Structures are given as structure tokens and as C-alpha cells.
Amino acid sequence: MNRYPRDFTGYGANPPDAAWPGGAKIAVSVVLNYEEGGENNVLHGDAGSEAFLSDIAGAAAWPGQRHWNMESLYDYGARAGFWRLHRLFTTRNIPVTIYGVATALARNPEQVAAMKAAGWEIASHGLKWVEHRDMPEAEERAAIAEAVRLHTEVVGQRPRGWYTGRCSVNTLRLVAETDGFDWISDTYDDDLPYWAEIGPRDQLIIPYTLEANDMRFATAPGYIEGEQFFQYLKDSFDVLYAEGAAGAAKMFSIGLHCRLIGRPGKIAGLMRFLDYAQSHADVWFPRRMDIAAHWAATHPHQRRTRPSQMDHDSFVARFGGVFEHSAWIASRAHALELGPAHDSATGLHNALARMFRSATPAERLGVLTAHPDLAGKLAAAKRLTAESTAEQASAALDALTDAERAQFEQLNAAYVAKHGFPFIIAVRDNTKDSILAAFQTRIGNDTETEFTTACAQVERIAELRLKDMLP
């Protein structure tokens, strides 16, 4: 099987109502990354110095050497930036989620004590703030386990949330497989939390942000002054707040770093934003653990059978009758590049219809001739498929008068004699009268036109059947 793992659908056009506590129109999640002391450094056993997210323009790693300027900038985050942010959030009673690198936490006990005293959530940001992309799976699994062990030892309790940031393609799965995290944030793909089925575990994902993030002060294109940061946060807040007022409440994540936003000229923009956000009613400032608890209670996950995960025989058994007596369509569709996008009625209909459209004219004619006459002999003998029986009943074709039945039989015979296949129409889109009117109009068309029309109606019937079976 060829299966495509990426999910382009998510909640689609109809996301759930977040139902935030107190009827909040927006949930503003403030995240403070604590990495100072966990970055690349030969003191930490790394091959060279850190080169990422600092105020040094064009920074590059120094192999085998300490980079004094880089270290000094990180030290600022611990020595001054953290405490400026701590004062800001505690005086405003805004709870914070810490993304704490375990080795950084171990080297900063006073800051950890202040985080705990403030009631902040301390989640794991990995063992070291280094790239995971090239780690062999066994090495990364061991690093995750050691991060949890050291975090628990330093903080006094196990982390219940996780964000790596510099992750590999395996990270999310490996973290979920530890079976101990209430939430993971190593995605950027939604404005709401969602559930991911990872093996037997239903893992809650709380997406994070790389754009409402002060890292843009250190990357290009980015912010060069606090006012730009304020304006971007304000614009994001305004759009999401308006959506919440319209009944579609969302989550707004803000990413911060002690050594970046902790600088006076940068934090001024954050202060202006907090003034602005706190001037609005119905704004919830939760920790991510609070979001996770709310989502698990309000939107618990329910597993369902997903077409893209079914084996061939199960897939054909379930969907082989969607196109009348034409299981070969489902069989061929199973071999397509199916993925999460095909686990809905619309998505799977597209896959099945592709196989119908790409079939030979003779094969498509076979699908048309597999359909029964409307109110014909098979219906009278109760030999229709369950789907056809229900569909014809929906338009009261199972309760015709003798005169109406005779009229249908006459039209059926004339139509088949002229075109070579039954008259096909999606009866659930019609009434008995509109079906008769279409019958009388379409019987006069040329066969090529009717073949095209009948094929389109077959696809519509399949779509309606799938909507009875799938979300």
C-alpha cells in the first residue's frame, strides 16, 4: 500500500467550539523558553559553540572552542532577562508555561525555584537544546528518557508537557511512546489542540508558533523593534478574538526567550500587547497544562475506523457497494496514495470517483447497467440493494399508485431502448415529481449527453452513500 501520512484536513471547514472556560473568546498561551545553560557549548560536551537565536548577526559555531560573546548573550537571559519577565508576569497575574531544557534547569536552581513559586508550568524542552534531526532513533529515545529523568530530579515532579523545537521526523512519535505526556507541542499546524493516534496512544497535540515568537528578533525576516512585535501580536489577537466572538474560539500561542524578549527595547512591545489584551473581556490566559485538561474533558478523543488504514479486503467489504455492484472501483482505490485526507466522505469519494473516471468506457457502462430501473421489477420483487431500497423509498418510489408505476415502467423501457442503460438520478436530491420531470426531459437527449449525465449522477449517489458512512 502507498499511504501518505501528512494531514492537510485537520478540523476542516467546521472546527469545534473550543468552549473555553467562562465563555472566553480566546485562550492566550504564553510560553517562555528556558534554554540558558542547555545550548551547544564545549563545556556541555558538544563539538562547538551555539550558533542559533542570538543577537550576533550571522553567528556560526566555533568548533572545539567556547564562544565568549555567544555565552555572554545566553547568560544575559538567565541573569537579567528571566527576572525582568518574571516581574512582568507575576505582577500581572499571568501564568506562564516554561519550555525548560533539562540541563539548563539543572544549572539554574534559583530560576527554577521562582518558576515553581509563581505556579508556572514547567514542561520539558528536551535534554539539551540541540538538533535532533540526525540522531539515530535509539539515541534520541535515550535522550528523551534522560530528559524526563533529569527534569524530574531537578524540578521535583515529572514533566507532563513536551516541546523539542529542533526535532527530527521521529521526535513526536518517540515522545508519545513514552506514554506519559498530557500534551506535546512539536507542531505548528493549527489554532486549536487536536488528538493524534500514535500506536495505541491517543496523544493530545497543542500546536505552537514560530511567528508570534520573539525568535523573529534574531532571524530574517524579523522584528527590529518592540513596536513591530506588538503590532503583530495585536493583529493576531484581534483576528482570533473576532473569530471567538463569532462562536469559533481559538488558541493564541506566544513564544518568548529570556535572552531575546528580556532586553528592555524588546520587552516594551510585549508590555504594550499585554496592556491591550488585558483590556478586553473574555480573555483566558491559561498554562498549556490547563488547555490540555480542558480539551481532554471537553473534547475527548473517540477512535473510528479510518479508510486509509484499512486492509484491502476490509476496505472493499465496506466500500465496495458505494458504486452499485462495482466493487472493483473500491479495490482500485485502495491502491491509491491514501492518507488522512481520504478518511472523510468527501476525501474517499474523490478517490473512488477517480477510479470511476479513469475506467474504460465499457467499464463505466458496466457501472451504469448495474443500477436498477427506478420503481422497476427488481424493486417490486424486493431485490434491490439496501442502499437502493432506502434511496428509492426516500422519494416515495416504493409507494406509487398503479398509474404512476405504469408510467415509470413505460419510461424505463423507452429510455433503456434508446440509450442502452437505465435512467439514473440521485433520488435523494429529488422528489417523485422532479424525477418524473427529469425523466421526461432527459429521455430526449442524445446518448453521449446522457452517458455523461448518468455518470455524474452515479458519482452523486456514491457521495450521498459515503456521507451516511463517514464524517
C-alpha cell read off for 78: 538567565
Residues 375, 392: contact at Cβ < 8 Å?
A: yes
Of 86, 257, 349, 371, which is the active-site residue? 371
DSSP string for residues in 389-416: HHHHHHTTTTS--HHHHHHHHHHHHHHH
For residue 50, CA distances in Å to 47, 168, 261, 392 come to 10, 19, 19, 70
Contacts by 209-215 with C-beta closer than 8 Å and gap 24+? 209/253, 209/254, 209/255, 210/255, 212/236, 212/252, 212/253, 212/254, 212/255, 213/254, 213/255, 213/256, 214/255, 214/256, 214/257, 214/260, 214/261, 214/266, 214/270, 215/53, 215/255, 215/257, 215/260
DSSP string for residues in 71-132: HHHHHHIIIIIHHHHHHHHHHTT---EEEE-HHHHHT-HHHHHHHHHTT-EEEE--SSBS--
- For residues 463 and 460, what is the distance between their CA atoms, to the nearest angstrom? 5
Which helix or strand (DSSP H or E) is residue 379 part of?
Answer: helix 377-380
371 as an active site residue: the answer is yes
- For residues 371 and 219, what is the distance between their CA atoms, to the nearest angstrom? 61
Catalytic residues: 371
